[in-house]
């Protein structure tokens, strides 16, 4: 089975062919300056499970902006992040943040005690919009925004003086210097990252970052129970199911996030768990940001089609989205949007 991956920084590009996932994983133990040697080592015939290969290549092919980032992506296990990290996505995250703020009316959950010098981590921070706003609101706190990719990180001159950004893959075990460091760990919109209905590693790694008595604050999307109204929405929902099945995304865990957190063997007690629906006045913004995300994720369909040929191609996807969008603009038109879920948990001790 022949596979090729092209890494490019705009000026240079290099094609790697016939790579086996084990060769890629070996790469993570090597030094940056051994990169070329590793390419050579990696040029072995690919055999084995097609799903495994596809899963390795998915995150790599969409998260590369430079050779540097390629190294980061390769060091990570497959995360199947389905969204292209481009300018439109950065703006979409800003709009989605606005929707969450309108819904919650708080950045930090009011049940979390505020103290001077508290350490706050935002994990999978994207543009860091939540982290930056928390840092501004709580100037005596120290806020760190982590993400597996730095594509969306603002340049350091825009960071508040009490905030910083850093790379971290939370699906892998956390390094010892971060253990027990934080009073609050914030997670938002991980639904499209967790695969195989298994949030356990994520929950456990997040809990390890907490001091005893520290809090996990989590906001996410109940994609399994999305609102689907009108034929164009029903049709599109069917396409989404084909896509998420191919990506091994299953959103049932979000319906029972409280139970999953309790049973994760992570010393967490659930303080609050809510499935409050959106106010109707917020729905247009939520739906718009969702449709933009769906537009964005169309870019990955070609890769998913290799895993499962029944996945729609990007033309079919965009056409169906356009039909849905047009219908949604009519009075009492179609609706397709996800519902929110929020959780607050405290680490015992
Ligand atoms: C939908 S975005 C949400 C961004 C931000 N939390 C927000 O609400 O604006 C999901 C983020 O998770 C990041 N991510 C995906 N896999 C990750 C991993 N294994 N470790 C850390 N971050 C990850 C993505 O790069 C992306 O920025």
Closest residue by Cα to atom 4, ligand 1, is 126
Cβ atoms 238, 201 nearer than 8 A = no
Contacts of 317 (CB under 8 A, 6+ apart): 239, 294, 298, 301
**What's the pLDDT at 338?**
97
Which residue in 304, 300, 244, 242 sits closest to 51, CA to CA? 304
**What's the pLDDT at 83?**
78
**What's the pLDDT at 81?**
65
**Model confidence over 174-197: pLDDT tens digits?**
999 999 999 999 999 999 999 889
**What's the pLDDT at 302?**
84
Which tokens in the block code for residue 317?
């996807």
Beta carbon of 220 within 6 Å of any ligand 1 atom: no
- CATH number (3.90.850.10, 3.30.230.10, 3.40.50.150, 3.40.50.2300) of 87-347 reads 3.40.50.150
Residues in the chain, pLDDT under 50: 1-79
**What's the pLDDT at 62?**
32
**What's the pLDDT at 200?**
96
The predicted model scores a pTM of 0.80
Cα distances (Å, whole numbers) of residue 58 to 184, 303, 306:
31, 7, 11
Cβ atoms 135, 155 nearer than 8 A = no
**What's the pLDDT at 227?**
98
**What's the pLDDT at 153?**
96
Distance 331 CA to ligand 1 centre (A): 35
Beta carbon of 187 within 6 Å of any ligand 1 atom: no
**What's the pLDDT at 236?**
97
Cα distances (Å, whole numbers) of residue 68 to 8, 41, 88, 102, 151:
10, 19, 22, 37, 11
The residue extents of the domains of the chain are 4-75, 87-347
**What's the pLDDT at 298?**
87
- Please give the number of the atom of ligand 1 that sits closest to the Cα of 219: 8
Which tokens in the block code for residue 73?
């992506």
* Helical segments of 160-282, H only: 200-208, 231-246, 252-255, 257-262
Distance separating alpha carbons of residues 232 and 265, to the nearest angstrom: 42
**What's the pLDDT at 130?**
98
**What's the pLDDT at 3?**
40
Cβ atoms 103, 340 nearer than 8 A = yes
């Amino acid at each position: 089975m022949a596979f090729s991956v092209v890494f490019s920084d705009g000026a240079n590009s290099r094609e790697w062919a016939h790579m086996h996932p084990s060769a890629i994983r070996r790469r993570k133990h090597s030094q940056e300056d051994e990169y070329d040697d590793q390419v050579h080592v990696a040029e072995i015939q690919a055999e084995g499970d097609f799903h495994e290969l596809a899963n390795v290549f998915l995150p790599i092919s969409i998260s590369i902006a430079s050779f540097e980032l390629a190294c980061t992506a390769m060091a990570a296990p497959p995360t199947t992040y389905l969204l292209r990290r481009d300018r439109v996505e950065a703006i979409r995250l800003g709009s989605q943040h606005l929707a969450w703020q309108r819904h919650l009316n708080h950045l930090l959950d009011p049940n979390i005690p505020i103290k001077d010098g508290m350490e706050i981590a935002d994990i999978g921070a994207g543009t860091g919009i939540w982290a930056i706003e928390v840092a501004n609101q709580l100037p005596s706190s120290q806020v760190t925004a982590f993400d597996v990719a730095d594509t969306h990180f603002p340049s350091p001159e825009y960071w508040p003086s009490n905030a910083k950004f850093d790379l971290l893959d939370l699906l892998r075990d956390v390094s010892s210097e971060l253990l027990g460091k934080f009073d609050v760990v914030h997670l938002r919109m991980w639904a499209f990252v967790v695969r195989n209905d298994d949030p356990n590693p994520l929950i456990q790694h997040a809990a390890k970052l907490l001091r005893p008595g520290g809090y996990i604050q989590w906001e996410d999307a109940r994609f399994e129970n999305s609102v689907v109204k009108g034929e164009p929405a029903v049709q599109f929902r069917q396409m989404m199911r084909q896509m998420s099945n191919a990506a091994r995304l299953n959103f049932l865990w979000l319906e029972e996030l409280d139970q999953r957190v309790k049973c994760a063997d992570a010393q967490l007690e659930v303080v609050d768990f809510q499935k409050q629906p959106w106010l109707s006045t917020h729905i247009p913004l939520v739906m718009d940001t969702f449709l933009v995300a769906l537009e964005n994720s169309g870019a990955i369909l070609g890769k998913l089609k290799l895993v499962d040929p029944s996945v729609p191609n990007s033309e079919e996807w965009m056409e169906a989205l356009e039909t849905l969008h047009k219908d949604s603009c009519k009075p009492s038109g179609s609706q397709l949007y996800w519902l929110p879920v929020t959780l607050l948990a405290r680490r015992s001790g």
